[in-house]
Amino acid sequence: MIRQLNKSCTCKEYSDLELSRDVISKRIKESKKIKKHLEIKSKSDKGHHLYQCEFCNQLWQLSSAWNWGGKDYLFKIPKINIEKWNENPFVSPADMTIFTASMNLYFERHKLIESENICRRENCERKAILKDVLCKKHFIENLQKIGNLPKYPEGKIFEPYTFE
Ligand SMILES: [Zn+2]
Ligand SMILES: [Zn+2]
């Protein structure tokens, strides 16, 4: 058994991905090596793969980085049972990187400042932003609906990531 000669894995050498283009590019290159210790556990309808380390049981997800020419990359994910994962795989950090970059670009160009008025949306008690009748959340939602801002990426959000 060759496997017994090699009793450790390299999972600990890889950290959670920072949402930067360079970090994603680097991980795309590393993924072939990372995959050596991993065993495939499931595939989702949308082409995400669930992997587990044979040595330390760490779970990994393989997704395509669409803005990097659709190349595959691996990232660590929290413990989850396979059926739950099949229903809704984790959000891809590459998608989040692109989403966050476009949102930041928008906010650099448009400062959304609170006014003294209340948002016009029903049941919303947040302050409307200046020069508009909606609060920041609902204003952004509107822009996402008409396609002027990107939609939130699909998938289950997980530590250490947040949308805000
Ligand atoms: Zn491992
Ligand atoms: Zn509102």
List, as ranges, residues with CB under 5 A of the ion ligand 2. 119, 121, 124, 126, 135, 138
Q: Is residue 160 part of a domain?
A: no
pTM of the predicted model as reported, rounded to 2 decimal places: 0.84
| DSSP code at position 163 | -
Q: Is residue 149 part of a domain?
A: no
Q: Is residue 113 part of a domain?
A: no
Asked if 111 contacts 84 with a C-beta cutoff of 8 angstroms, the reply is no
What is the domain extent for residue 17?
Answer: 11-87
Number of domains in the chain: 1
- Distance between Cα 21 and ligand 1 center (Å): 25
- Distance between Cα 155 and ligand 1 center (Å): 24
CA 164 to chain centre: 13
Q: Is residue 112 part of a domain?
A: no
Q: Is residue 75 part of a domain?
A: yes
Q: Is residue 78 part of a domain?
A: yes
Q: How far is 114 from 129, CA to CA, in rounded Å?
A: 4
- Distance between Cα 114 and ligand 2 center (Å): 11
Which ligand lies nearest the alpha carbon of 120? Answer: 2
DSSP H or E segment with residue 72: strand 71-77
Q: Is residue 143 part of a domain?
A: no
**Backbone torsion region of residue 14, taken as left when φ is above 0, otherwise alpha when ψ lies between -120 and 50, otherwise beta:** beta
pLDDT for position 100: 92
* Predicted confidence (pLDDT) per residue in 66-75, tens digit: 999 999 999 9
* Predicted confidence (pLDDT) per residue in 29-82, tens digit: 999 999 999 999 999 999 999 999 999 999 999 999 999 999 999 999 999 999
